[in-house]
Amino acid sequence: MPHSILVYENGGPEVMNWEEIPFQDPGRSEVRINQKKVGLNFIDIYQRSGIYPLNLPSSIGMEGVGVVDKIGEGVENVKVGDRVGYVMGPPGAYSECRIYPADRLIKIPDYISDSQAAAILLKGLTVSYLINKTFRVKKGQTVLFHAAAGGVGLIACQWLSNIGVQVIGTVSSEDKVEIAKAHGCHHTINYSHEDFTKKVEDITSGKGVPVVFDGVGADTFEGSLKCLSTFGVLVSFGASSGKPPQLSLSELAAKALYITRPSLAPHTATPTLTKQISSPLFRAIKDGLKISISQKFLLKDAANAHRALERRKTTGSTILEI
């Protein structure tokens, strides 16, 4: 019998239970996946804690890689034996075996391993829509990217640097400074003891940056606005430190600033939309984008992975192994 992490009530990592589950047969337009690797993401914590409510009991997790084990009626885009990955869609990645909608699957290229795919799909697709769709970054620009040593940040720093963008990145500790620099971050700021708004002002000679990518939220939101140049864009795509504070729109007027709150779900709502961001990602990987897997946990020990992520003790990507 396969196993799954199940959550019966919202709370801390201790509410995650490793239990046997019955095999399920896929329904129409569904497949059953024999999972190999699972990606760890902050959205998993939001689901577990109740910030993103689920119908409990439920498994959690939005990113996995495996092999198609069985297909339901009407499935034509994949076959048994295909190696596939997925992001978003129905939660339930924290399982050895699961049912998933066939039309949301992403076929994994041969040059990307299971571990690499689990580490890159959600985070890499996030970076892809951020820099290719939300704010189309151009060569020669300077940008500010918060949490530069995190899973999303390390991918973004590399990708942006590779296309000729100057990256200013913030990190939360000294050991993460060198990690961010090694992945293409040109200017690294430890915001735990440096005023990143002042540093950005110095780096840009007072001009500010045209865009700030902020997945941290409460701790960085107000400072991010101060770092923007006239007509600048604050891309608030996450809230790892908590929800950003309330804002009066009049505060944007002096520099005619813009704020957007994008998310991955709309960008993966259809196969066509998913391909628009997966194709650039896969090309970037083929061209040399490095996939940093800094931590590995067994799926059954996912509670420890959550503790490490919540305490900001991780760098790069973390995967859960089955």
Structure confidence by residue, pLDDT tens digits, 161-211: 999 999 999 998 888 999 999 999 999 999 888 999 999 999 999 999 999
CA 313/CA 118 separation, integer angstroms: 20
* pLDDT of 58 higher than 90: yes
- Side chain identity at residue 81, one-letter code: G
Q: Which residues pair with 235 in a beta bridge?
A: 213, 260
Mean pLDDT for the stretch of residues 107-126: 96
Task: Give the pLDDT of residue 315.
Answer: 84
CA 120/CA 112 separation, integer angstroms: 10
Integer angstrom CA distances of residue 179 from 71, 158, 192, 290, 314: 42, 11, 16, 13, 11
The DSSP code for 167 is E
Mean pLDDT for the stretch of residues 233-241: 89
Domains along the chain? 3-112+291-321 (3.90.180.10), 124-265 (3.40.50.720)
CA 240/CA 211 separation, integer angstroms: 19
Q: Which of 143, 166, 134, 115 is nearest to 316 (CA)?
A: 115
Task: Give the pLDDT of residue 270.
Answer: 93
Integer angstrom CA distances of residue 2 from 66, 89, 98, 166, 305: 14, 21, 9, 47, 21
CA 303/CA 306 separation, integer angstroms: 5
Task: Give the pLDDT of residue 256.
Answer: 98
Integer angstrom CA distances of residue 301 from 62, 88, 208, 251: 17, 22, 43, 45
Residues 315 and 183 sit within 8 Å (Cβ to Cβ) = no
- Nearest 5°: CA angle at 170, between 167 and 176? 105
Residue 233: CB atoms within 10 Å: 17
CA 203/CA 37 separation, integer angstroms: 41
Task: Give the pLDDT of residue 218.
Answer: 82
Tokens of 315: 């760098």
Alpha helices in 94-139, H assignment, sequence order: 114-129
Per DSSP (E only), the strands in 237-284 are 258-260
- pLDDT grade, residue 89 (50/70/90)? confident
DSSP H or E run through 240: none
Task: Give the pLDDT of residue 172.
Answer: 87
- Side chain identity at residue 78, one-letter code: V
Rounded mean pLDDT of the chain? 95
Integer angstrom CA distances of residue 178 from 60, 154, 171, 181: 33, 11, 10, 5
